[in-house]
Amino acid sequence: MHPFPLAALVGLGFALAAGGCMTREQLAQKNAQQVDEICAAHGLQPGTQAYTNCRAKVVEKQQQDEARRQADWESTAAIATGANSGNFNMSHSIGF
């Protein structure tokens, strides 16, 4: 068995993984495009007040969702580290 095919597959895997990475600017552009698509799907036309209001509402909703996800993550992390209950001991919580 030759080592080249395995190395080629590993290299391809790294290339594919790196290709999935996006810069902040690219993510912002993709998000703006998605917001535009949402508002356009509702039949709104760019340049109108309704379209501007739609974009603002969609972005606000995204920010609220992100804040909720962040709070959930922080809560989960706090529980996992025992920050909310002092010396959290799993054996006491499950009856061992």
Task: Note down pLDDT in tens along the chain; length 96 residues.
Answer: 444 344 443 444 444 455 568 899 999 999 999 999 999 999 999 999 999 999 999 999 999 999 999 999 988 888 877 755 555 555 555 554
The residue range of the domain holding 57 is: 23-80
Interhelix angle for 24-41 vs 49-81, to 10°?
130
pLDDT of residue 10: 42
Nearest partner of 62 among 26, 30, 22, 19, judged by Cα: 30
The backbone torsions φ and ψ at residue 56, rounded to the nearest 5 degrees and listed phi first, read -65, -40
Q: How many CB atoms are located within 10 Å of the residue 30 CB?
A: 11
In a domain, 16, yes or no: no
In a domain, 6, yes or no: no
In a domain, 56, yes or no: yes
At residue 86, what is the residue type? G
In a domain, 14, yes or no: no
Looking at the structure of the chain, the number of domains it has is: 1
